[in-house]
Chains A and B, each alone.
Chain A
């Protein structure tokens, strides 16, 4: 589904990604881990088109999207969330999701101005679909509330819900559990698995090892912009290089 070929990214004289190649297969929950500054978020930015690699190619579903603008990449079926939450704070939860569904609508400005039935039909269908997604994240009861009024954990979920509303084939999730308490994290794990069961491929960055080991089927470990390990969570967590660079010995015993 997603193929990275020899991605290099330099910021000035600093090489943050060094000839990185990876493949994310369809249907997986793929984990991307590594210490801070390893280049994980930079990699997400390159995949979603917010930043251009210095060298290398990004292939998504057979298309080279390396030089595509973010909206065109999204239109091909990629959704993402951000490490620092970027929901639309002044809009309601429902409006956040409907904005996310923008590219699923088909009605034209003329249909809007002439009040054609297609607009009402689509708006109604989208609202129902948005409600379904909100229910999945236990946010349906707050659909009309302003997004800013949600708790931190709920805001993270809303952002995930909004990304899901774009109907992506691949969902990039940047630290979904950051700032969540253990109960919220547990609930989120269930939701991630549920989304995956519905057929969405997920690639996630996370520092919570219980989370990563619990939901991911494949894990890649980055350190200083290089891939140091790739495999199932079991294979990765006892890899000596990974223990040295990131996890420490305790995780291996989990």
Chain B
């Protein structure tokens, strides 16, 4: 039994890392969805966080914690700069702006010498331990729990439900949307930094449009009524491909089928908030 557990752990312990990193990314998009905004830039924010944190530890030799913090702060700063003009408007402008932004970031990674161009960065020191990820996730869950029944959480919900009504009640809609977007970028950047320090290797291809859509799928599959939804969604979508390994190349098709079925039969996601009536 113990031997089985040991071999299971040896084979699958990286899966735990990935589940937690994807969980963080799902939460990073959830906070913008919570106020009705769609960000397609979270993969790019993760990439910026990953490169920033990795370069801080590799070139500047700073303590891991400071590198991670830098990896979260830079995306948050960029989000404030992109968000301030685009989030004044309501509607799909954030989605459009972040879609373009993600492409710009990918091309920048490909062409800058400091990021290693198309080769990427090799030899990022392995500093991330599983407990770091659990700690980060714990802090995030605490944050979202506190947010839920606070005036700030309610303001986000009000904006998601009806932005105009929220504004005439005195809720500063632009301010909330920009901060939600920046906090999301911070979480994505942090996840990127943590991820970089256990994969050893960074490639610009990992942070493109495909992954931005994957992150969105985590949240949609799990349901965006509460932050538990995206966490469940990301966990399922990370573990599922592993469980379906035996069917070989059909697994992407099956993956897609499961998604379609969920969208048809559980349009609000797996975690549907029970309605009171």
Give the interface of A toward B (CB within 8 A): 48-50, 69-71, 73-75, 78-80, 82, 86-92, 95, 98-100, 102-103, 105, 107, 109, 112-113, 115, 119, 123, 144-146, 148-149, 162-163, 166
The 8 sampled A-B contact pairs (Cβ below 8 Å) are: A70-B168, A71-B167, A74-B170, A100-B169, A107-B151, A109-B152, A149-B276, A149-B277
Q: Which residue of A lies closest to B143 (CB)?
A: A113
Given contacts A50-B164, A99-B157, A112-B146, 8 further A-B contacts (CB under 8 A): A74-B170, A78-B168, A86-B162, A91-B154, A91-B158, A100-B169, A103-B170, A107-B151
Instruction: For residue B235, give the distance in angstroms from its CB to the closest CB of chain A.
Output: 25
Q: Are B169 and A146 in contact (CB under 8 A)?
A: no
Cβ of B242 under 8 Å from chain A: no
Contact status of A86 and B152, CB under 8 A, knowing A99-B171, A102-B171, A115-B146: no
Q: Are A71 and B173 in contact (CB under 8 A)?
A: yes
Contact status of A70 and B155, CB under 8 A, knowing A89-B161, A91-B161, A113-B143: no
* Complex interface: chain B residues within 8 A of A112 (CB): 146-147, 150-152
Q: Which residue of A lies closest to B88 (CB)?
A: A69
For the complex, count residues of B whose C-beta is within 8 A of A.
27
Cβ of B107 under 8 Å from chain A: no
Instruction: For residue B126, give the distance in angstroms from its CB to the closest CB of chain A.
Output: 31
* Residue among B154, B166, B277 making CB contact with A146, cutoff 8 Å: B277
Q: Are A98 and B276 in contact (CB under 8 A)?
A: no
* Complex interface: chain A residues within 8 A of B171 (CB): 71, 99, 102-103
| A214 and B250 alpha carbons, distance in the complex (Å) | 72
Instruction: For residue B145, give the distance in angstroms from its CB to the closest CB of chain A.
Output: 11
| A123 and B153 alpha carbons, distance in the complex (Å) | 13
Contact status of A74 and B169, CB under 8 A, knowing A86-B162, A91-B161: yes
Contact status of A86 and B165, CB under 8 A, knowing A99-B155, A145-B276: yes
| A145 and B166 alpha carbons, distance in the complex (Å) | 20
Cβ of B275 under 8 Å from chain A: yes
| A87 and B169 alpha carbons, distance in the complex (Å) | 11
| A180 and B80 alpha carbons, distance in the complex (Å) | 46
Q: Which residue of B lies closest to A90 (CB)?
A: B161
Instruction: For residue B170, give the distance in angstroms from its CB to the closest CB of chain A.
Output: 3
Q: Are B165 and A105 in contact (CB under 8 A)?
A: no
* Residue among A89, A99, A119 making CB contact with B166, cutoff 8 Å: A99
* Complex interface: chain B residues within 8 A of A148 (CB): 275, 277
Q: Are B146 and A113 in contact (CB under 8 A)?
A: yes
Q: Mark B259-277, 1 if CB is under 8 A from A, else 0.
A: 0000000000000010111
Q: Are B165 and A102 in contact (CB under 8 A)?
A: no
Cβ of B245 under 8 Å from chain A: no
Q: Mark B157-191, 1 if CB is under 8 A from A, else 0.
A: 11001101111111111000000000000000000
Q: Are A102 and B154 in contact (CB under 8 A)?
A: yes
